[in-house]
Structure 1
Amino acid sequence: MMTYQLPLFPLNTVLFPGMPLPLHVFEERYKEMVQVCLDEKRPFGVVLIRSGVAEGGPLANPYDVGCVAEIVEVQHLGNGRSFIMVIGRERFRILSLDNQQPYLVGQVEALPFQPEPQEQIEHLSNLLTPWLLEYLQFLAEMGQVEFDMSQVPTDIEEFVFLASAAIQLPQEEKQAILENEKASIILRELIKVYREEVSLLRLKPKSDQGIFSLN
């Protein structure tokens, strides 16, 4: 499989393919990284921090699997600072790290799903869909997300990543989902998680339901 170099942005959040992520870029090393990416019209990689901190201090130690982030919108704030909006693209696995730059650069390879029977994946997706729709309806009623049925993708891979991003889980658990190479395993786990979460939400008065986020 072909490998390539990718600047890395360690964060305390997991980015999934197809999902948006707004970022405030203010630290010197990441101002430089983002400017290089803008100048060269190239993406960077978002990786969850395994140890260390996102801001200041030594470069953080990331997990081995992340998501390519394409910059789709930039708002310059002066002094090199900016607000940027990125969209997750493909997953990647880090093969090696280069810390000679002020920011991390990884030698990476794409991480596609392993081939599986289409009928099996479609069946699992159909089982998950009603739970996902009911969960998103809860979010919409609480004003936490604007949602309509047309937003649910028909592409299986896009559907898997939307469902993975939408549910509230600890970031380490989302990372485990991101790393999984089989869509069937992810779908089975999500069916279980969504069933439990929706069942709890059905029992709670609306005033007691917490705050939700798509990330």
Structure 2
Amino acid sequence: MSELNRVPLFPLETVLFPHTMIPLHVFEARYRELVVYCLEHDSPFGVVLIREGAEVGGGEVEPYEIGTLARIGRLRRLEDGRFHLLAMGEERFRIRRLHRGLTPYLQADIEPWRDFPPFSPEEQQALTQAVADAFTEFLRAALEPYGLRTSEIRLPDDPVMLSFAVAGTLQVSLPFKQYLLELQDTCERLRLLHIVLQEVAHAYETKPFDPDNWPGLFSNN
């Protein structure tokens, strides 16, 4: 991404993290136009959590300032003009200026939003290993009751990518997910995720796993 770029925005009631997938059913006319624009110009679009307003209905929305670029991967166009698509999160951005009324959908001038270099690489490496171990145990406890194997799962080695992969998987509140997305301190993101994973592990220890009644630990986003 260049230092300042203009992209179409898709405000949603979800938080998309880099390197994670998002399925979308696009049925509103304004967002059909957005999809067509992205396809014709080989352009990503920005996924932003809605701060105020509604996801559907055509009213104005106010998005959070930090979002994630998404690029269309698989796509199916339905006969009535709707789209089913799967998009991949790329890099984070910060909105510098919103543009309303230029197109049926929002546009924004954006700039990159990246993590700062770690103050202590040793601490970051230790947190990365701790989160990887805790997340692996989480996956084992959550999937093996369904007969699913976890031995072939390969987690990212990169601390930033691992933090996004874990954050995108866990079912936590949208404001907390947005906070994790906005953080530019990789260690702090990993530290918070490790706390959540420890709480999940404690829940498994104190309550037998029941697939029919478990509230759900995987994100629906």
Q: TM-score range, shorter-chain basis?
A: over 0.9
Corresponding residue number in structure 2 for 1:12 = 13
Q: 1:67 and 1:20, CA in 2 relative to 1: closer, same or farther beyond 3 A?
A: same
Alignment TM-score, normalising by the size of structure 2? 0.91
Range moving further from structure 2, 179-188 or 52-61: 52-61
Q: 1:185 and 1:205, CA in 2 relative to 1: closer, same or farther beyond 3 A?
A: same
**In 1, Cα distance between the equivalents of 2:147 and 2:187?**
29
1:213 to 206, 211, 218: 218
Name the SS for the 2:98 alignment partner: strand
**In 2, Cα distance between the equivalents of 1:148 and 1:9?**
36
Q: 1:73 and 1:134, CA in 2 relative to 1: closer, same or farther beyond 3 A?
A: same
**In 1, Cα distance between the equivalents of 2:57 and 2:140?**
39
* Alpha-carbon distance, 1:57 to partner: 2.9
**In 1, Cα distance between the equivalents of 2:15 and 2:140?**
23
Corresponding residue number in structure 1 for 2:190 = 187
Matches within 5 A, 1:69-88: 69-88=70-89
Name the SS for the 1:151 alignment partner: coil
**Letter of the structure 2 residue corresponding to residue 174 of structure 1:** K
**Letter of the structure 1 residue corresponding to residue 187 of structure 2:** S
**In 2, Cα distance between the equivalents of 1:91 and 1:36?**
21
* Alpha-carbon distance, 1:210 to partner: 2.5
Range moving further from structure 2, 66-75 or 136-145: 136-145
**In 1, Cα distance between the equivalents of 2:76 and 2:169?**
26
Q: Unaligned regions of 5+ residues in structure 2, if any?
A: none
Whether the 8 Å CA contact 1:18–1:158 is kept in 2: the answer is yes
Whether the 8 Å CA contact 1:19–1:88 is kept in 2: the answer is yes
Corresponding residue number in structure 2 for 1:3 = 4
Whether the 8 Å CA contact 2:48–2:66 is kept in 1: the answer is yes
Range moving further from structure 2, 203-212 or 35-44: 203-212
* Alpha-carbon distance, 1:204 to partner: 1.4
Per-residue CA distance 1:75-130 (angstroms, 9 max, x = gap): 11123211010010100000110012211101100111101132221111112222
Report how many aligned residue pairs link the two structures: 215
Per-residue CA distance 1:136-159 (angstroms, 9 max, x = gap): 123313549874453311122211
Matches within 5 A, 1:163-182: 163-182=166-185
Name the SS for the 2:215 alignment partner: coil
Alignment TM-score, normalising by the size of structure 1? 0.94
- Identity over aligned residues, as a percent? 34
**In 2, Cα distance between the equivalents of 1:6 and 1:145?**
40
Structural RMSD (CA): 1.8
**In 2, Cα distance between the equivalents of 1:105 and 1:71?**
17
**Letter of the structure 2 residue corresponding to residue 135 of structure 1:** F
Q: Unaligned regions of 5+ residues in structure 1, if any?
A: none
